[in-house]
């Protein structure tokens, strides 16, 4: 029996809270809707980067900005997952647990991107997919969660970027 898809429209207050740690000129995520279908959690997002936060205009989305965008949509997707109890491995978490761990306890341990066609950074869309999350307890350590994720970006002119990332969530509640 398949699990029905659930849809969670963008919550502007939650989005603002997720983006609070970012400098004003680095808040690129403008909206995000989260869906679940079985064990797969997906955030479909809209971004705008009027001006790069670190370099002169390159005319295209670059790897640094992709990483920042990934972080923002991942943080939002996980916040929704915790609040709505969408992921079994996060079901025991409270929002206080999430806010306490958002920056220090969610680590990107592997990140890769491909850029088949340049993406216009001024207006584009992204997608974060939580494909799998497993709990592990290393022999000498505390339990942790390992998350396999994917990310994609596109614009209205056919620009594309995609990749994968592995997360480790530490300091579990």
**Mean pLDDT, range 54-74, rounded to an integer:** 91
Point out the least confidently predicted range of 32-41, 63-72, 95-104, 154-163.
32-41
**Could you tell me if 98 and 86 are in contact, meaning their C-beta atoms sit under 8 angstroms apart?**
no
Domain 6-169 part of CATH 3.90.550.10: no
Point out the least confidently predicted range of 6-15, 75-84, 95-104, 134-143.
134-143
Mean pLDDT of the chain: 95
DSSP code of residue 67 = H
**Mean pLDDT, range 7-26, rounded to an integer:** 97
Q: In which band, very low, low, confident or very high, does the pLDDT at 3 lie, cut at 50, 70 and 90?
A: low
Which tens digits make up the pLDDT trace of 28-58?
999 999 999 987 999 999 999 998 888 877 7
Short-list 28, 17, 50, 20, CA closest to 126: 28
- The confidence score (pLDDT) of residue 71 equals 98
Which tens digits make up the pLDDT trace of 112-147?
999 999 999 999 999 999 999 999 999 888 999 999
Residues 63 and 67: their CA atoms lie apart, in Å, by 6
Residues 171 and 141: their CA atoms lie apart, in Å, by 10
Token readout for 77 is 């997707």
The string of DSSP letters for 1-23 reads -PPPPEEE---HHHHHHHHTTS-
Domain ranges of the chain: 6-169
Residues 67 and 62: their CA atoms lie apart, in Å, by 9
- pLDDT of 1 > 70? The answer is no
């Amino acid at each position: 029996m398949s699990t029905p898809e659930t849809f969670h429209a963008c919550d502007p207050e939650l989005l603002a809270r997720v983006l609070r740690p970012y400098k004003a000129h680095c808040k690129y995520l403008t909206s995000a809707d989260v869906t679940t279908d079985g064990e797969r959690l997906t955030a479909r997002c809209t971004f705008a980067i009027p001006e790069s936060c670190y370099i002169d205009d390159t005319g295209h989305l670059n790897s640094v900005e992709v990483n920042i965008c990934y972080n923002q949509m991942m943080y939002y997707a996980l916040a929704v997952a915790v609040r709505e109890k969408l992921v079994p491995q996060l079901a025991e978490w409270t929002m206080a647990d999430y806010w306490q761990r958002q920056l220090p306890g969610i680590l990107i341990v592997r990140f890769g991107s491909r850029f088949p066609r340049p993406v216009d950074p001024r207006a584009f869309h992204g997608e974060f997919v939580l494909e799998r999350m497993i709990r592990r307890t290393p022999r000498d350590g505390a339990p942790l969660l390992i998350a396999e994720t994917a990310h994609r970006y596109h614009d209205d002119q056919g620009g594309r970027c995609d990749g994968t990332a592995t997360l480790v969530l530490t300091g579990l509640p």
